[in-house]
Amino acid sequence: MTGVQTSCPNCGATIEFRWAQAVQTTCEYCRSVLVRHDLDLTKVGTSTVVPLTPSPIQLGTEGRWHDRDFVVVGRLVYRWERGGWSEWHCRFSDDTSGWLSDAQADYVMSRPATPDRPLPSSDDVSPGDTFPHGGERFVLASITMASYVGTEGELPFAYAPSGLVPFADARSTAGNFATIDYSETPPLLFVGEPVELRQLELRNLRTFEGW
């Protein structure tokens, strides 16, 4: 990936982009959240120290999914009533983004999708509701009220939601996953599938003491 370099407007540290079109990144050193206008970076906030996740995935992890290589370039961390999870921003070789959801060693790789029809609003959804997409029928499994914890790395958009963000998780009988992200209006749809790490042929993973 390209090694475009610039410096952090807050602390001066060198920032090297893994992905040339990143819209937002976070300075590793001072944790300032920086939004990009070309090579100029504007500090828009500070990200909390992103908690160490148990995940073996880290920024810079490379992998392969459905015959396309990707690099993990960024991360969003959320918390909910019963724990936390991460959404790893994966940048594919065909210049598209994907999100690897990482929760308690359950992994789902999704990509943004355009809904066939308008998605229900967050007040309108409840488990058991169904909606069609891409020829499949998705059944809503759960609504999670999550709070945004922090970010690291590069994102394709400027992101700083506040308050609780509802996420609706749906599954199809074929085993595919869909998530409705209500952090924006209109809500965003992501469609993907559960994956085992070894399916993704990952390289540059974190190491664990004793493993």
Partner 1 sequence: MTSVQARGLNCPNCGAAIQLRSFQFAASVVCDSCLATLDASDANVAVLQTFEKTMARARPLIPLGSRGTWKGDPWDVIGFQVRQITVDGINYRWQEYLLFNPFRGFRYLSEYDGHWNDIIAVRGIPEGGSVSGHPTATWRDTTFKLFQTSSATTVFALGEFPWMLNVGDVVTVKDHVAPPFLLSAEETDEEVTWSLGEYVSGERIRAAFKVTEPFPSARGTFANQPNPLAGTPARYWQAFVMLAVALLVLVGLRLGTAGGRLASAVDGVFHPGVATDKAPFVTDPFTLAGPTSNVVITSSATVDGSWLFVGMTLVNDSTGQVIDVGREVSYYHGVDEGESWSEGSRSDDVRLGAVPAGRWFMRIELDGPDAGRDIDWRIEVRRDQPGLIWWFAAFVLLIVPPVIVSLRSAAFETTRWAESDFAPASSDDSDDSSSSDSDD
- Which positions lie near partner 1, rule CB under 8 A? 51-54, 56, 58-59, 82-83, 104-106, 108, 139, 141-142, 171-175, 177, 194, 196-198, 205-211
- State the Cα angle at 53 between 47 and 54, rounded to 5°: 175
Specify the residue, 69 or 193, whose C-beta has the smaller distance to partner 1.
193
Specify the residue, 36 or 107, whose C-beta has the smaller distance to partner 1.
107
CA distances from 179 to 48, 133, 174, 201 (A): 25, 12, 15, 24
Of 99, 187, 98, give the one whose Cα is nearest residue 143.
Answer: 187
Specify the residue, 94 or 196, whose C-beta has the smaller distance to partner 1.
196
The answer to whether 116 and 134 have CB atoms below 8 angstroms apart is yes
Specify the residue, 24 or 101, whose C-beta has the smaller distance to partner 1.
101
Q: Which two tokens stand for residue 2?
A: 């390209």
Instruction: Tell me the closest approach of the beta carbon of residue 72 to partner 1, in angstroms.
Output: 12
Instruction: Tell me the closest approach of the beta carbon of residue 46 to partner 1, in angstroms.
Output: 19
